[in-house]
Amino acid sequence: MDAQQLADSLPDGVVVADAEGRVTLVSRVAVQMLGRSALDAVGRGLAEVLALQDQDGAAWFDHNCPYRGLATRTAVPEQSWLLPDGTEVLVAARIHRPALDRPVSSVVVTLRSGRGRARLDRERSDLVATVAHELRSPLTGVKGFVQAMLNRWDKLSDDQKKLMLTTVSADSDRLSRLIAELLDVARIDTGRLQLYPRPSDAAVLTGRIVESVRAGTSRPVVLHVAADLPEISADPDKFTQVVTNLVENGVRHGEGTVSVTLDPLGPDHDHAGVRVVVQDEGEGIPLDLRRRVFTKFWKGGARGGTGLGMYIVGGLTRAHGGTVSIGDAPGGGASIVLTWPSQDRRPE
């Protein structure tokens, strides 16, 4: 494979110039990015071929002067520049010299699309906006009630004080859950999620979840557990977090009765385990949206929340070697199906 074929096989654009600043190689991706300015580029000047400008109209070559500067200079750091059509590209360069006391022998410039960074910037902005919004409400409640107690302590009855403190406690729990969600997202994204799986009784854990959710809603929540249910291999806290998210979502976004069903995995699976099915009687989730449910910040036009719950559900379930999918409930609502293994099947 020659140099041109190697450059053409790379996902990023590559432009190489010699000691005189004449272009000696342009990869296929670079030609696609630079357009007409890169046609018949070999032999032309790097400044002419690399037609990139910043927001102020400055050119990449004039701004970075790759053939001048300190002899110890070996690279131009990645910077954001604009193509002739206004598209953002991220540009970096390596500067080669035979020795520190010798002039530049070649300059290799790489160009990659700025869409990935733009998407990352949007995600970060979404995260900041979501966190700011979710923090504001409980913090406002905590501050308001604490300030009221400080200013009017002697005038408040014991029942009023108890009500205020109960509200402050509930808002504090909400803040703690938000922080825990953010930490889980960060650990899932970076592969640093710590699990401590052990043989667990899915029926007992799910029963506690259902009782807890029932205590906070007037909606009926029913639990069906099949006989001879095998144990599962799970970090009990993470399993509880997953199923709680699903049941609370069914209560919050669905209608009618929320049902939770636990069955052994059938013979169509190559391992033993438990199937957990959470169904509601709402409008369901349209087919074209189901792929987005387990992404960050998905709310489906729903009411409040960070939009991180289902992303965490998917991440924690897969981290245990299980699966999660979406279907239609018999009553027309959503049906979320988990498969959870009986043995430790965590990915390597």
161 and 68 housed in the same domain = no
Most confident of 140-149, 163-172, 221-230: 221-230
Alpha carbon distance 57, 259 (integer Å):
62
Cβ of 115: how many Cβ atoms within 10 Å? 12
Which of 113, 133, 156 is the endpoint of a domain?
113
Cβ of 35: how many Cβ atoms within 10 Å? 12
74 and 61 housed in the same domain = yes
Q: Quick check: is 218 in a domain?
A: yes
Q: Quick check: is 346 in a domain?
A: no
Look at residue 197 in the predicted model and tell me its pLDDT.
92
* pLDDT, tens digit (0-9, with 9 covering 90-100), for 154-194: 888 999 989 999 888 888 887 887 888 888 888 887 778 88
Contact 111, 88 (CB under 8 A): no
Look at residue 304 in the predicted model and tell me its pLDDT.
56
Which structure tokens are listed for 31? 């030609």
214 and 296 housed in the same domain = yes
Structural domain that includes position 168: 118-190
Least confident of 20-29, 226-235, 327-336: 327-336
- How large a percentage of the chain has pLDDT more than 90? 38
Alpha carbon distance 222, 334 (integer Å):
15
* pLDDT, tens digit (0-9, with 9 covering 90-100), for 5-16: 888 888 889 999
Q: Provide the number of structural domains found in the chain.
A: 3
175 and 255 housed in the same domain = no
Q: Quick check: is 141 in a domain?
A: yes
Distance of CA 118 to the CA centre of its chain: 14
Contact 334, 254 (CB under 8 A): yes
Could you say which DSSP state residue 59 is in?
B
Contact 299, 307 (CB under 8 A): yes
Q: Which stretches of 105-175 are assigned E, i.e. beta strand?
A: 106-113
Q: Are strands 23-26 and 334-341 parallel, antiparallel or unpaired?
A: unpaired
Q: Phi and psi (nearest 5°) for 326?
A: -120, 135
Alpha carbon distance 169, 58 (integer Å):
56
Look at residue 121 in the predicted model and tell me its pLDDT.
67
CATH number of the domain to which 79 belongs: 3.30.450.20
* Mean pLDDT, residues 97-114: 90
Q: Quick check: is 230 in a domain?
A: yes
Which of 85, 113, 141 is the endpoint of a domain?
113
337 and 252 housed in the same domain = yes
263 and 296 housed in the same domain = yes
336 and 204 housed in the same domain = yes
Strand order through the sheet with 75-82: 23-26, 13-17, 106-113, 88-96, 75-82
Contact 329, 279 (CB under 8 A): yes
Look at residue 341 in the predicted model and tell me its pLDDT.
95
User: Which is more confident, 338 or 57?
Assistant: 338
Q: Quick check: is 39 in a domain?
A: yes
- The helix, strand and coil proportions of the chain, stated in percent and rounded to the nearest 5, come to 45, 20, 35
Alpha carbon distance 35, 37 (integer Å):
5
Q: Is the pLDDT of residue 305 over 70?
A: no
CATH number of the domain to which 267 belongs: 3.30.565.10
CATH number of the domain to which 165 belongs: 1.10.287.130
Task: Give residue for tokens 């960050």.
Answer: 296
Q: Quick check: is 347 in a domain?
A: no
